Amino acid sequence: MSTKTPHSDYDSYNLFEHVDRYMTTPRFSAPSRGSHFYPSEASVKYEDGGEEYVAGSCLRKSYYRIKHGSERGQVSARGAHIMKHGSAIEESLTEIFKQMGIWRANSVRFKDNEFNISGEIDCVLIEPDGTEYGAEVKTVYGYMAEKDIIGNTYNVGKPKASHLLQTLIYCWVFRDRLPYFRILYMLRDSCARRTFKVELHEEDGLYYPKIDGVVSKKFTIQDVLNRYRELEYFLENDTLPPRDFQLEYTDEKVNRLYSLGKISKSKYEKHFAPKKPVPAGDWECSYCDFKAFCWERQQEEVESAIPDSVVEID
């Protein structure tokens, strides 16, 4: 006769707790910290409607990564699984490209010594006419991603700003070898798909983004590269950069952004809700691996002045 009860220790065993712990446990590595910059850390400042915005990565986040490595940053189990799923989709597409006969290379590592940028492009593919081009695979999910990136009847869709900036860095580094890149989007939930052709448009010595044949003059690739120069300045002077984003907006900023149509009505109403308000803020802070460390700091922020000679690029 079995003595096992319905509520034994075995029955309460949660396998995913162990999986999540494994996924978030730092792997053994040599005690060194990377001093190079990543294409995924690309960012730029630009003006729109009289407001100054930052698109892409936060300089302070990159500063923390280089100064502290993984000591202060912590990837969540959810984030680790998302990265794993994204890698699986990239591997699957690469195999399909090989079967189609359009694959040239994948996981191509590079180092740009001028700006100390080190990275890896996902794939190099071949057009029917023999033209080689770069491909960057991105996976996203959710209604807003499908609406904003894939597009619908009312919205044409566009690449996510951080993905565009990263791809522009690839366009710059490989400008003499690959005429353009394509960002390949696939939604993890619906499998909706879309591509964007990204190029650099040269005009009077300046290089502007060109997406699907349309040139944008909000910023240049030189502006993007200047931000790496700024980061380099902060690191060399051991000075903490100011935050590029805010975990919680002030009421004044929420009112201003709402009047400009930069935040939704629901987000605005939740911020000013009389009971249990949900403060509006930048998602870049909410999902940052260094959020706790950054916002727990009690020291005053020092807005360092950066000499023009440091940040200007010919």
Question: In this predicted model, what pLDDT tens digit does every residue of 194-221 receive, in sequence order?
Answer: 999 999 999 999 999 999 999 999 999 9
What residues does each domain of the chain span?
Answer: 32-247+282-300, 248-281
Q: Which residues on neighbouring strands pair with residue 136, listed in sequence order?
A: 183
Helix spans in 198-264 (H): 221-236, 251-259
The pTM assigned to this predicted structure is: 0.85
Collapsing DSSP states into helix, strand and coil, what is residue 118? Answer: strand
* Averaged pLDDT for residues 155-177: 97
Residue 204's pLDDT is 95
Residue 183 is given by DSSP the state E
Question: In this predicted model, what pLDDT tens digit does every residue of 292-310 receive, in sequence order?
Answer: 889 876 444 433 434 443 4
CA distance 45 to 43: 7
pLDDT at 163 over 60: yes
Question: In this predicted model, what pLDDT tens digit does every residue of 265-299 receive, in sequence order?
Answer: 999 999 999 999 999 999 999 888 888 889 876 44
CATH fit for domain 32-247+282-300, picks 2.40.160.20, 3.50.50.60, 3.90.320.10, 3.40.800.10: 3.90.320.10
Q: Which residue has the higher pLDDT, 31 or 115?
A: 115
- Write out the two tokens for 189: 């939930």
Q: Which residues on neighbouring strands pair with residue 194, listed in sequence order?
A: 185
186: number of Cβ within 10 Å: 21
311: left (phi over 0), alpha (psi -120 to 50) or beta: alpha
* Averaged pLDDT for residues 69-74: 58
* Averaged pLDDT for residues 155-165: 96
Yes or no: say if 183 and 199 are a contact pair by the CB < 8 Å rule.
Answer: no
Q: What's the chain's average pLDDT?
A: 87
Residue 13's pLDDT is 79
* Averaged pLDDT for residues 31-52: 83
181: number of Cβ within 10 Å: 27
Look at strands 43-48 and 214-215 and give their pairing: unpaired
pLDDT at 123 over 90: yes
Q: 72, 44, 68: which is closest to 58 by C-alpha?
A: 44
Lowest mean pLDDT among 94-98, 142-146, 234-238: 142-146
Question: In this predicted model, what pLDDT tens digit does every residue of 214-247 receive, in sequence order?
Answer: 999 999 999 999 999 999 999 999 999 999 999 9
Residue 73's pLDDT is 53
